[in-house]
Structure 1
Amino acid sequence: MSALPAGSAAVPVVSAQGVGKRYGPTVALSDVSLTVRPGESHALVGRNGAGKSTLVSILTGLSKTDTGHVEFGGVPAPPLSKQDDWKRAVACVYQHAMVVPQLTVAENLFLNRQSGKGFAIGWQRLRRQARDLLDSWDVGVDVDTPAGELSVEDRQFVEIARALSYGARFIVLDEPTAQLDSQAIDRLFARMRQMQANGVTFLFISHHLHEVYEVCQAVTVLRDAKHILTAPVSEVGRAELIDAMTGEQGGLSVRDASTREALAEDAAEVLAVDGLSGDGFADVTFRIHRGEVIGLAGSNASGKHQVAETVYGLRPPSSGTVRVDGKPLKPGDIPAAIRAGIGCVPRDRHHEGLVLEHSIADNATLSILDRMGKGGLAAPGARYGRAVRALRDYDIVAADADQPVSDLSGGNQQKVVLARALAGDPRLVVLINPTAGVDVKSKEALLAVVDRVRAEGKAVLIVSDELDDLRLSDRVLVLRAGAVVAEHRAGWSDGDLVADIEGVER
């Protein structure tokens, strides 16, 4: 199936035809084509490993196609050596900020392009140019603010403005909403529509399919390094889109807690949180029992992440207590939390969950080295054996246990993080955004593991922006402005939960 939006007679902003790319024996792209029309937001979707990142690297001049060709505005793409020409044609704003945090907004906007004579920088002119640039695109950021102090949302807008300053009017947004709350996402989408009206075209990459329907006019699906579908968004249903991504019928299958047997009344209490206060939250109290899943919902500013991180020891509380199996947990002490029987999947797998340059074997056994050998020195064979079992138990797709985790797709990286969290057979598992940035089938696999360990009797605390992740919960606590404002039992409706998250009456 292939169709184009209205106005398809216009010369495409970008056209990739018959693109192929191999890395040794691995086929990263096979005869892939993509056409993006002026002024549209075109979604590029697919499971992790489908070829999206490879296609983006080719479209942005980071790698060369083996077969096929790319054109911008009907003109062949420049050679890779002419990066200034690429910057005038296309830019990519990645999920992880590419600003220099120690430099000001103005310095980031014109990095290596500072005006002045000789080695001197004309600071007044630089600030004036920065203000003019931001004002022209309605970006309300102080040009003298260090970029590291900006919100994720504002950093993205600064990166978009920097790309536009080169003359590019085609912007690739790679998972732009992954770290934004609902209000920031709404503002991003409003800004995208405004920029589209002013001649900017977007290639939008997201695992959140509802966002595709909200902000995009066309969608292209890749699967197994091949082009599967291009069509107007209005002509593709959600189930059809998921089928195209997975090659299977039925879409996402997530077990709802309301369909399983009720928790035993005499189930032992595993976690007791009493009057817990800290950075961004106050006076939070709840209990979790064996075989029970408790969800924490709310906006990114609600304090839900900070509560979970405090339970695990990533943050010290200002007051209150955390007890595991009735014993007080030493505050702000991760090793103490691990010894007490807590496993954790942290919020950011790249910075908190993985040592990217190390192997799967290294990463999967980090939390249990003290159990595998004296002084934390474990025999390589023992670590490798544990990692091989993890590959099997968590369906991690990799060449072998010695493969660096940096080589894995996002979904497989997250499976390694989960394998490490469960390696020590914890009594309580804390999961923070466990399916962020993973594809539909990886999400299913990760949530199936959560359901499995719950059935084994572990207690689970799950914090997520994804409603599908929370469906496993026996109860969902809603936080707003740092306080628990509502509780929903299994079987809740999307509308009721979202209304409490947003603080509106239905």
Structure 2
Amino acid sequence: MKRFGPTTALDGAGISIAEGETHALVGRNGAGKSTLVSILTGLQRPDEGEVRFSGEPAPALGDRDAWRQRVACVYQKSTIIPALTVAENLFLNRQTEGRLINWRALRARARELLDTYEVDVDPQALAGDLGVEQRQLVEIARALSFGARFIILDEPTARLDGPAIERLFDRMRALRRQGVTMMYISHHLDEVYEICQSVTVFRDARHIMTAPVADLPHDELVDAMTGEATAAYQARARTPREAVVLAASGLSLAGRYQDVELSVRSGEVVGLAGSGSSGKVSLAETLVGLRRADTGAVTVNGRAVRPGDVPAALAAGLGFVPEDRHHQGFVPLLSVAENGTMSIAHKLGRLGAVSPARRRARAVRMIQDLDIKTEGPDQPVGDLSGGNAQKVVFARALADDPDALVVINPTAGVDVKAKQALLGAVEDAADRGAGAVLVSDELDDLRICDRVLVMFHGRVVKDVPRGWSDHELVAVMEGIEE
């Protein structure tokens, strides 16, 4: 049992994980998963109940070293410090047992640790220069270096592409053969069936069920998570208009993409698909000014947008949902109202002053339109679940009724119901006449698109109309056919 004021975060919930197994914990945002993780890692004390490791009671809350020797956690939000080297990150606060740091010995210890867990990374490399996959593997190695044989992986695939996910799963299987026990948290149920032996479902802060994965039909698992039968999201039929609202011509950015031509009509949703190295995210970020192309131009409603200028892109009529909501999407200590209306603050008052009443009224409407689960407009966004925080990011993108919308991985790390709401918001914008570019690693997200542009090694290789099969799209994404 765990309460935060009037809110019950866990209600008699628990989990039991057998030694040496990979055990999934699933549930909708707000089900209690994050609270359980904070208790299992000694960051929170339960109001009732206890935590045991191998039958022994958990250490005292203040004994951090003892907790690290029993359990390690790799969070969805990276804890790697970009300005430090890999070796420094691996042994942060453990660089030396004396007064001075022996840098050669530190790098040797780091190399030995990385070799033990088959992580092919240079210990002297700056962590900020690593890719998402490499940073994640460094975090896993660091977590295990404390001696823990139980590791929690929180949404580890949220920002990985297909080949990187398979490499992560290979590493997890190898760790399991070495006797490491894992709790795997994910919203991707296909991953649960691929990598886990058992699954526990939380719903509304309660334990609903625990079962062997092999004996649990997919529909029953979804029903347990939602409390009802949940159908797959049904994309709407649309007829895009003739007017082009967003276009790119001759866009090239060295090392990212080359010679991209793009045209999005009013009422049309265009998907961008490809592997992590395809250039799709960089292209989307160029459209909204986060990146500046070496050549080419972006236009909104026929008017050129100043390259590499986000305010200019927003003023031209673009709405944007970034790839990483934690780092780019919201300010956690600011309220739902402040985050949601940030892009239209200049319209909510006079002479540079924002009217609190007008801001609050707009926020209330946003909360209703997107069904944001919150205590109210004044609640800090950092206190919301992942799905509801993402809805706030969407609310800001839609606040000024944009003519075009650019959305990157909108459903990463959110539950089934939140996915439906977020994809519905994209389609609502298209129904009102906006054009949309939807970048996603999720094939189910791309089903709402009228067509999908597939990128491979920085080039658009195919324009795939609605009605594609998974095999067809994946084959093009992996360069098997064009």
TM-score (norm: length of structure 2)? 0.97
- Corresponding position of 1:256: 235
CA distance in 2, matches of 1:189, 1:505: 26
Extract unaligned runs of 5+ from structure 1. 1-19
> Any residues of structure 2 matched to 1:467-478 within 5 Å, and which?
467-478=443-454
Q: Give yes or no for contact 2:245–2:435 (8 Å, CA) kept in 1.
A: yes
Whole-Å separation in 1 of the counterparts to 2:330 and 2:179: 40
Counterpart secondary structure, 1:241: helix
> Larger deviation: 229-238 or 471-480?
229-238
Per-residue deviation, 1:157: 1.6
Deviations 1:369-409 (A, max 9, x none): 22223354221111111101111111111111111111111
- The equivalent position to 2:251 in structure 1, one of 263, 276, 287, is 276
**Residue in structure 2 matched with residue 231 of structure 1 by the alignment:** 211
* Count of residue correspondences: 481
CA offset digits 1:254-276 (Å, max 9, x no partner): 1235xx14435xx2111121111
Distance 1:101 1:359 in 2: 28
Q: Which residue of 1 aligns with 2:475?
A: 499
Matched letter for residue 59 of structure 1: L
Letter of the 2:326 counterpart? H
One-letter amino acid of the counterpart of residue 41, structure 1: T
Q: Does 1:389 align with 2:360?
A: no
Kept after mapping to 2: 8 A contact 1:173/1:203 = yes
Give the 5 Å matches for 1:191-206.
191-206=171-186
Q: Which amino acid aligns with 1:153?
A: E
**Is residue 443 of structure 2 the alignment partner of residue 464 of structure 1?**
no
Q: Given the superposition, is the C-alpha separation of residues 449 and 116 from structure 1 closer, same or farther in structure 2, using an over 3 Å criterion?
A: closer
Any conservation in 2 of the 1:275–1:320 contact (CA below 8 Å)?
yes
Q: Do the aligned partners of 2:349 and 2:355 also contact (CA within 8 Å) in 1? A: yes
How far 1:70 sits from its partner (Å)? 1.2
Residue of structure 1 in register with 2:266 after alignment: 290
Q: Secondary structure at the match of 1:240?
A: helix
The change in CA–CA distance for 1:505 and 1:343 in structure 2 (over 3 A counts) is closer
After superposition, what is the alpha-carbon deviation per residue over 1:3-50, rounded to whole angstroms, capped at 9, x for unaligned? xxxxxxxxxxxxxxxxx1011111000111211112211111111000
What is the CA–CA distance in structure 1 between the aligned matches of 2:310 and 2:80, rounded to whole Å?
30
**Is the contact made by 1:356 and 1:406 (CA closer than 8 Å) also made in structure 2?**
yes
**Counterpart-to-counterpart distance in 1, 2:401 and 2:393:** 14
In 2, Cα distance between equivalents of 1:452 and 1:261: 11
User: Could you tell me how far apart the structure 2 residues matched to 1:31 and 1:401 are?
Assistant: 30
Counterpart pick for 1:310 among 282, 286, 292 = 286
Q: CA deviation at 1:111?
A: 1.8
Is residue 115–residue 125 contact of structure 1 (8 Å, CA) maintained in 2?
no
| 2:74/2:154 contact within 8 Å kept | yes
1:488 is aligned with what amino acid? V
The 1-side partners of 2:354 and 2:477 are apart by 46
**Which aligned pairs between 1:422-433 and structure 2 lie closer than 5 A?**
422-433=398-409
Instruction: Give distance in 1, aligned partners of 2:96 and 2:360.
Output: 55
Structure 1, residues 411-444: CA drift from partner, whole Å, max 9, x if none? 1111111111111111111111111111110111
TM-score, structure 1 length as denominator? 0.93
Q: Which amino acid aligns with 2:317?
A: G
2:154 matched residue in structure 1: 174
The 5 Å alignment of 1:431-442 reads 431-442=407-418
Moved more, 449-458 or 374-383: 374-383
Partner of 2:81: 100
What secondary structure sits across from 1:457 in the alignment? Answer: coil
**SS of structure 1 residue aligned to 2:200:** strand
1:116-169 CA deviation, whole Å, 9 max, x = no partner? 53x112222222222222212212221111222222212222221122221101
1:34 match: secondary structure: coil
Quick one: structure 1 residues 302 and 375, their matched pair in 2 at CA, closer, same or farther if it must change by over 3 Å?
Answer: farther
Aligned-residue offset at 1:292: 0.7
Q: Note the residue ranges of structure 2 that are not aligned, 5 or more in a row.
A: none
CA contact (8 A) 2:77 2:326 kept: no
Indicate if the aligned counterparts of 1:294 and 1:477 stay in contact, CA closer than 8 A: yes
Does the 8 Å CA contact 1:256/1:490 hold for their aligned counterparts? no
Q: For residues 376-455 of structure 1, what are the structure 2 equivalents within 5 Å?
A: 376-455=352-431
Deviation at residue 495 of structure 1 after TM alignment: 1.0
Q: Could you tell me how far apart the structure 2 residues matched to 1:408 and 1:261 are?
A: 33
Could you report, residue by residue, the CA deviation over 1:72-96 in whole angstroms, capped at 9, with x for unpaired residues?
Answer: 0111111101111111100000112
1:152 aligns with 2:132: yes
Matched residue type, 1:169: R
Q: Answer whether contact 2:23 2:200 (CA < 8 A) is retained.
A: yes
Give the Cα separation in 2 of the matches to 1:155 and 1:143.
12
CA distance in 2, matches of 1:334, 1:375: 23
Letter in 2 for 1:42: H
Q: Which residue of 2 aligns with 1:124?
A: 104
Do 1:355 and 1:363's aligned partners in 2 also have CA atoms closer than 8 Å?
A: yes
**Which of 365, 368, 390 is equivalent to 2:344?**
368
Q: Distance in 2 between matches of 1:100 and 1:165?
A: 17
Q: Distance in 1 between matches of 2:399 and 2:87?
A: 46
Q: Distance in 1 between matches of 2:240 and 2:299?
A: 21
Residue 37 of structure 1 aligns to a residue whose secondary structure is: coil
Does the 8 Å contact 1:344/1:429 carry over to 2?
Answer: yes
1:207 equivalenced with 2:187 (yes/no) = yes
Distance 1:148 1:356 in 2: 22
Q: Could you tell me how far 1:170 is from its partner in structure 2? A: 0.5
Runs of 4+ with >4 A deviation = none
- Residues 261 and 103 of structure 1: is their aligned pair in 2 closer, same or farther, counting only changes over 3 Å? closer
**Any idea what SS the aligned residue of 1:288 has?**
strand
Q: Secondary structure at the match of 1:62?
A: coil
Q: Which residue of 1 aligns with 2:225?
A: 245
Deviation at 1:231, TM superposition (A): 0.7
